[in-house]
Structure 1
Amino acid sequence: MDYEGNSKIFKALTDPSRLKIIDILSCGEKCACEILNYFDFTQPTLSHHMKVLSDCGLVEVRKEGLWNYYKLNINNCNKLTLFMMNLITETKDCICKDKANCTCK
């Protein structure tokens, strides 16, 4: 499991505004100006949040003229969901079943 990569995604999701952006984008692609209508912060602040979400792979950006359009990267969102499900579910591949990591006798 990719603990390092997924921890960066979880870190990006610790901000409530970014969680709200993910929720907004779950309804489909949105222009930056549409997303900004949901918040009381400036466009540069939105740009920062979108860069963080884009850098961790959860959001894709498309430029059209002067406007940026954002949408969820569904493939990466699904991978994150599967990672979380595997993390909290005991499976035959579970790290706790790895005898090499056991220090008890």
Structure 2
Amino acid sequence: MRLRKEVDEMQEKDILLIAKISDALAHPARIKIFRYIMEQNKKRQRICNKDLVNHFDYSQATISQHVKKLSDAGLVQVKREDRYSYYFIHLGTLNDYLVATKKFENM
């Protein structure tokens, strides 16, 4: 994606980050899943796909698709152990997103 010349490299980087994260959070189910993973991580609980399927009224395939979108955006990290995949919020990406949106608010 090309942006106009007056948008400097740093702004372009922020714009692309905001677009990527906003796209990942554009579906209500993904926001619910993201929030639940964050809440459980704060309690130091490990969350796997089975936990998400049991908590939400979505199929395993649907949960997997939504988590993949969150993971591709860098919001969720996946750690595999044996047969299970555990999900953790990537706080660095979340912080970068919040900082980038704050910059635009202050323009």
Q: Which residue of 2 aligns with 1:97?
A: none
Q: Which residue of 1 aligns with 2:27?
A: 15
Q: Which has a greater percent of helix? A: 2
How far off its partner does 1:38 sit? 2.3
Gaps of 5+ in 2: 1-10
Instruction: Give the aligned CA root-mean-square deviation in angstroms.
Output: 1.2
Q: Which residue of 2 aligns with 1:61?
A: 78
Q: How does 1:1-105 map to 2 (within 5 A)?
A: 1=11, 2=13, 3-27=15-39, 28=41, 29-90=46-107
Partners of 1:38 and 1:83 in 2: CA distance = 32
State the AA in 2 paired with 1:14.
Answer: A
SS of 1:83's partner is: helix
Contact 2:47 2:87 in 1 (8 A): yes
Deviations 1:26-58 (A, max 9, x none): 120411111222211110111100110000100
TM-score calculated relative to the size of structure 1? 0.79
Identity %: 31
Partners of 1:62 and 1:32 in 2: CA distance = 12
Higher gyration radius (CA): 1
Counting matched residue pairs gives 90
Deviations 1:51-95 (A, max 9, x none): 1000010000011111110010001001111111111113xxxxx
